[in-house]
Amino acid sequence: MKHQSVNIDTVLGSFQELWSPRILTQVNDWDVRLAKVEGSFVWHTHPDTDELFIVLDGALDIHVRESGEEQVVHLERNDVFVVPRGVEHRPESSEGATIMLFEPTGTLSTGDYEGEIPDHITSTTGLPA
């Protein structure tokens, strides 16, 4: 096995697509994903797993809905937020952001969303870096 590092800036520089997460590396059975985001994602849940968001640059709002109540969690650079499993959420960034996500390998980015996926979103379990 060859041991080598992976550079976040190099991976981020290798793609321009929004809402199209790249797998930076894996830790046990979890992916560390990088994504560039702008605009709104779809409302969805991940029934079986939490989802960790880390903002590397820019700002991200995560809308969450539970029991009919909606709340917005605002994240700036270096802020971290965990969406608990089963909580409906919709990330959004009006100015654009780069984010890091931790999710179990194989987790679909759009979760349980069953509608038509907008053209600006890639529904994926993570693309290779």
Q: Where are the alpha helices (DSSP H) in 3-86?
A: 8-13
Say if 117 falls within a structural domain: no
Say if 58 falls within a structural domain: yes
Which residue type sits at 82? V
Three-class SS of residue 122? coil
pLDDT tens digits, 56-102: 999 999 999 999 899 999 999 999 999 999 999 999 999 999 999 99
Range of the structural domain that residue 67 is part of: 8-106
C-alpha–C-alpha distance, residues 82 and 87, integer Å: 10
Number of domains in the chain: 1
Q: Give CA separation, 38 vs 21, 33, 89, 114, in Å.
A: 13, 16, 16, 22
Give the CATH number, domain containing residue 76. 2.60.120.10
pLDDT tens digits, 1-15: 788 999 999 999 999
Say if 125 falls within a structural domain: no
Say if 52 falls within a structural domain: yes
